Amino acid sequence: MGLLVTKLCFSQDPQFTQFYASPLYLAPSFAGSTKGKRIVSNYRNQWPALQKAFVTYSFSYDHYLHTVNSGIGAIFLREQAGNGNLSTTNIGLTYSYHIKLNHKWRAIPGLKVLYTQNGLDFQNLTFGDQLISGQNTSSENAAAYHDHVKDVDASASALFYSSKLWMGVTVDHLLRPNESLSGQESLLPMRYSLFGGMKIPINSKYNRHTRESLSPALHFMKQGKNTQMSLGLYWHYNPFMLGLWYRGIPLVKDIPSNDAVALLVGYQIDQFTVGYSYDVTVSNLAGLTQGAHEISLTFNFGKYETPREKWVPTPCPGINQDF
């Protein structure tokens, strides 16, 4: 049973703990960031202890066009929650252009355009007048609302990286789509993301390729009045990956502290990479939500040698076929 109590409905943006394993959602600059073609699928079940809490899944495809130094891609994402099936659906196209700044650094600006739709099944909601009358039919109040609203949106990003360092920024919701189901105006605030890190080879001699490395990383997001900071560390020993993330920074009042600790594990089998993560809730909701489960699957195929120069992959964990 659901109860509608306000005329305006506000929702959170979907997010993934394994955000590097959902590259086109993180930043359109990651389109074509592998040496060939890539298919990625993601599934997230957040707060499974709560009835019909947030479930998110996405699918994406991207391809590097070496003749024009560009990456193209497509992404589908859907999130659904509650008995009313409050949903967000995004379908988008991405483009990136790869620029060689010097022999060490590269830059990749990116753009994403989206068709977006928000929906709610009012037939599955129970309104106050139904509780009073005892009727099972939908309230007349529901007639003032729309089952779904459609709009367009866009995102822009920039990625800078060398063989061991990376940093990037993404601005989402540039067109600020209207997500109100009541016919009023409720514009989605722009979201700003800053991410970066470094890859530290272990037991590397004479700059030779090593199977083992550590990668400290960070991810900062701000949307409206909400701010979130995540700090993480990956350990790689091909074909294995282990990761640990912490969301929240104690002693900083403007950023919620003690939100969650996430544990990640990944394994690569030839062209396939699978990742699993579990969020351990450490906020006031600890013990009530059962955290969050997340699974990512990546398939890289169609590898080729670039004709003009040696390929320099981004060192971000989970982005390339080699951890």
In which residue are the tokens 């007048």 written? 129
Instruction: Supply the pLDDT for residue 181.
Output: 74
Secondary structure, 3-state, the chain: CCECCCCCCCCCCCCCCCHHHCHHHHCHHHCCCCCCEEEEEEEEEECCCCCCCCEEEEEEEEEEECCCCEEEEEEEEEEEECCCCEEEEEEEEEEEECEECCCCCEEEEEEEEEEEEEECCHHHCECHHHHHHCCCCCCHHHHHCCCEEEEEEEEEEEEEECCCEEEEEEEECCCCCECCCCCCCCECCCEEEEEEEECEECCCCCCCCCCEEEEEEEEEEEECCEEEEEEEEEEEECCEEEEEEEECCCCCCCCCCCCEEEEEEEEEECCEEEEEEEEEECCCCCCCCCCEEEEEEEEEECCCCCCCCCCCCCCCCCCCCCC
pTM of this prediction?
Answer: 0.85
Flag whether 23 is in a domain.
no
- Picking from 122, 186, 167, the residue whose alpha carbon sits closest to that of residue 148 is 122
The token duo for 103 is: 């022999």
Flag whether 146 is in a domain.
yes
Overall number of domains in the chain:
1
Q: How far is CA 309 from CA 69, 103, 312, in A?
A: 11, 11, 9
Flag whether 108 is in a domain.
yes
Instruction: Supply the pLDDT for residue 197.
Output: 96
Cα maximum dimension of the chain: 79
Task: Say which CATH number the domain at 135 has.
Answer: 2.40.160.40
In which residue are the tokens 């005329």 written? 7
Summarised one tens digit per residue, pLDDT across range 97-141 is 999 999 899 999 999 999 999 887 766 655 555 555 555 555 555
**Full residue range of the structural domain in which residue 87 is found:** 28-301
Flag whether 51 is in a domain.
yes
Instruction: Supply the pLDDT for residue 123.
Output: 65
| CA angle in degrees (0–180, nearest 5) for 131-137-141 | 75
- Picking from 117, 97, 91, the residue whose alpha carbon sits closest to that of residue 25 is 91
Flag whether 14 is in a domain.
no
The amino acid present at 19, given as its one-letter code, is F
Flag whether 46 is in a domain.
yes
In this prediction, the residues of the chain whose per-residue pLDDT falls under 70 are 1-12, 82-84, 122-146, 204-210, 250-258, 285-287, 304-311, 320-323
Flag whether 228 is in a domain.
yes
Contact 320, 312 (CB under 8 A): no
Instruction: Supply the pLDDT for residue 126.
Output: 56
Q: How far is CA 87 from CA 13, 56, 144, in A?
A: 11, 10, 19
Instruction: Supply the pLDDT for residue 7.
Output: 40
